A and B are shown apart, each in its own frame.
Chain A
């Protein structure tokens, strides 16, 4: 059951959302017009003074939001994670060092043909590639972002580590 979220405009300040989770605390989020966020936690809904006040910059708030939302998308810290997309999932998979795919194009690697997944992006320290094309090259240390079904990711990891078993 989604929480009831009350939205109020604060003219000259920003927007305020408040909710009361089952635990009985009252949580208020204020988004200032300049992008700053404040989170107020009142231990009980009727309390006058907040027990906790959190002040966050825009980027910090997004990071916290992603963390709370379970879609923490910083593969450098969390190397592999799943995100449910109905029957499909998006997964971040680190290319193991010394893998045979180093220096090969996506077409050469044949992820789709061999495992059924689609590589949608290649994350790299220097410059990441969104909307990866067949002639994009994978390098050691990259993280590939792939879309597929739950069982297929194991095959991708195996393919990266051991190379193709179909003799090509």
Chain B
């Protein structure tokens, strides 16, 4: 990739992102679209950027920073504090949507490991898109927003558990068991470090000058990712646990402030680079999977909103609002597909199918989800004119 190619890429990313944001959409589908347009596959309008070691590397950094931030925000205390909706709503969501996702996966790939990957991709909604839209559409004051955020928090934690599995699972029983043991040891060590070394690490970091503070945090994240990768776990696990270790360090907010922009830039490249490998001409093969997954998502997510809402004391209309906020899929679906694409236990053809599926599914659901959120109140009034009390 040359500098001028990079310049054009950034210009396209910026322009499409801006257009999306003007329409109240998330930037994630815009970045994917940019990758599809500039990439080498169909549509072959502009074949500016070839996937290369450079794009792979930048995308890897994006993945690392996305997961590092997820780890930073991780806290069992917060999970407990956010109250009653988490357990009930989160469990209902996992059961229904991972279940429906698995059915879609089995329909597409048969009862294989690839089906499990599809289940995870369909299960996990986009926190980034939902939170942005809740703020944009002024829904934060609504009571059902508590339910949405609680479910998203549950999903974040569930997906952290799935990352390693999707990246390295699916081999023989012995290798899977070996990887699982290694992953558990690594996560256990990181959790112990977070608990007993977190505060000390925070004090050492706080003492550094700004320049070295940034460098030290950066180095720590990359080192943890590298160690995890060398252990043949996934760099995703390493980055996630780097975040977890630093989440209790007392310098979390400072880290977030300093690295927000780094994350956003590299995350944009991550989505872009991922989309370079999406081949739209495969719409014929994967189109029906995408449609099936969309239908499952609409039924599953809105259904969970209504059912969990009802159990949590909300009206049906509030439940529809909550469910609509969960339709958009984004960063996690892409991350899972990217990790699956690097998993040698999956057949090469299946990996390509998963990448094409995930990209197109995110494009469609992110757009549909945001439109649905915008219109959910009107939709609720149409479906439940009496206010939804029964």
Interface residues of A (CB under 8 A from B): 8-13, 16, 18, 26, 28, 30, 38, 40, 42, 48-50, 53
Check B146 against A10 for contact (C-beta < 8 Å).
Answer: yes
Within 8 A of A (CB), among B123-172: 127, 131, 134-135, 138, 140-142, 145-146, 149-150, 152-153
Check A11 against B145 for contact (C-beta < 8 Å).
Answer: no
Extra pairs beyond A9-B82, A11-B152 (6, CB < 8 Å): A9-B78, A10-B140, A10-B145, A12-B149, A13-B131, A53-B138
How many angstroms from the CA of A13 to the CA of B134 in the assembled complex?
Answer: 10
Taking CB atoms, residues of chain B closer than 8 Å to A18 are 141
Check B138 against A12 for contact (C-beta < 8 Å).
Answer: no
Taking CB atoms, residues of chain A closer than 8 Å to B134 are 13
How many angstroms from the CA of A45 to the CA of B186 in the assembled complex?
Answer: 50
Taking CB atoms, residues of chain B closer than 8 Å to A13 are 131, 134-135, 140, 149
Contact with A along B166-180 (1 / 0, CB 8 A): 000000000000000
Task: Give the 4 A-B residue pairs with the shortest CB-CB distance, closest first.
Answer: A28-B141, A40-B141, A11-B153, A9-B82
**Provided the pairs A13-B135, A53-B138 are in contact, do residues A8 and B73 lie with their beta carbons within 8 angstroms?**
no
Check A38 against B140 for contact (C-beta < 8 Å).
Answer: yes
Q: A8 to nearest B CB, angstroms?
A: 5
**Provided the pairs A12-B127, A12-B152 are in contact, do residues A30 and B140 lie with their beta carbons within 8 angstroms?**
yes
Q: B85 to nearest A CB, angstroms?
A: 10
How many angstroms from the CA of A50 to the CA of B138 in the assembled complex?
Answer: 8
- Can you sample 30 A-B contacts with CB below 8 Å? A8-B83, A8-B146, A9-B78, A9-B81, A9-B82, A10-B140, A10-B145, A10-B146, A11-B78, A11-B82, A11-B149, A11-B152, A11-B153, A12-B73, A12-B131, A12-B149, A12-B152, A12-B153, A13-B131, A13-B134, A13-B135, A13-B140, A16-B141, A16-B146, A18-B141, A30-B141, A38-B140, A42-B141, A48-B377, A53-B138
Interface core residue of B140, B142, B149 (most chain A CB under 10 Å): B140
Q: How many residues of B contact A (CB 8 A)?
A: 20
Taking CB atoms, residues of chain A closer than 8 Å to B146 are 8, 10, 16
How many angstroms from the CA of A71 to the CA of B201 in the assembled complex?
Answer: 41
Interface residues of B (CB under 8 A from A): 73, 78, 81-83, 127, 131, 134-135, 138, 140-142, 145-146, 149-150, 152-153, 377
Taking CB atoms, residues of chain A closer than 8 Å to B153 are 11-12
Residue of B with least CB distance to A11? B153
Q: B77 to nearest A CB, angstroms?
A: 10
Taking CB atoms, residues of chain A closer than 8 Å to B138 are 40, 50, 53
How many angstroms from the CA of A13 to the CA of B78 in the assembled complex?
Answer: 12
Check A50 against B141 for contact (C-beta < 8 Å).
Answer: yes
How many angstroms from the CA of A53 to the CA of B140 in the assembled complex?
Answer: 11
Q: A140 to nearest B CB, angstroms?
A: 42
Q: A38 to nearest B CB, angstroms?
A: 7
How many angstroms from the CA of A112 to the CA of B377 in the assembled complex?
Answer: 65
Check B140 against A16 for contact (C-beta < 8 Å).
Answer: yes
Residue of A with least CB distance to B153? A11
Taking CB atoms, residues of chain B closer than 8 Å to A53 are 138
Taking CB atoms, residues of chain A closer than 8 Å to B150 are 11
Q: A83 to nearest B CB, angstroms?
A: 31
Q: B156 to nearest A CB, angstroms?
A: 8
How many angstroms from the CA of A16 to the CA of B153 in the assembled complex?
Answer: 16
How many angstroms from the CA of A49 to the CA of B141 in the assembled complex?
Answer: 10
Interface core residue of A9, A12, A26, A50 (most chain B CB under 10 Å): A12
How many angstroms from the CA of A42 to the CA of B152 in the assembled complex?
Answer: 26
Residue of B with least CB distance to A38? B140
Q: B74 to nearest A CB, angstroms?
A: 11
How many angstroms from the CA of A63 to the CA of B187 in the assembled complex?
Answer: 45
How many angstroms from the CA of A128 to the CA of B389 in the assembled complex?
Answer: 60
Q: B386 to nearest A CB, angstroms?
A: 13
Q: B92 to nearest A CB, angstroms?
A: 18
How many angstroms from the CA of A38 to the CA of B135 in the assembled complex?
Answer: 10
Taking CB atoms, residues of chain A closer than 8 Å to B135 are 13
A40 contact from B82, B83, B140, B152, Cβ within 8 A: B140
Taking CB atoms, residues of chain A closer than 8 Å to B82 are 9, 11
Taking CB atoms, residues of chain B closer than 8 Å to A50 are 138, 141
How many angstroms from the CA of A76 to the CA of B375 in the assembled complex?
Answer: 48
Taking CB atoms, residues of chain B closer than 8 Å to A40 are 138, 140-141
Interface core residue of B141, B142, B153 (most chain A CB under 10 Å): B141
How many angstroms from the CA of A30 to the CA of B149 in the assembled complex?
Answer: 14
Residue of B with least CB distance to A6? B143
How many angstroms from the CA of A13 to the CA of B145 in the assembled complex?
Answer: 11
Q: A104 to nearest B CB, angstroms?
A: 44
How many angstroms from the CA of A49 to the CA of B374 in the assembled complex?
Answer: 12
How many angstroms from the CA of A11 to the CA of B140 in the assembled complex?
Answer: 11
How many angstroms from the CA of A11 to the CA of B148 in the assembled complex?
Answer: 10
Taking CB atoms, residues of chain B closer than 8 Å to A8 are 83, 146
Residue of A with least CB distance to B154? A11
Taking CB atoms, residues of chain A closer than 8 Å to B145 are 10
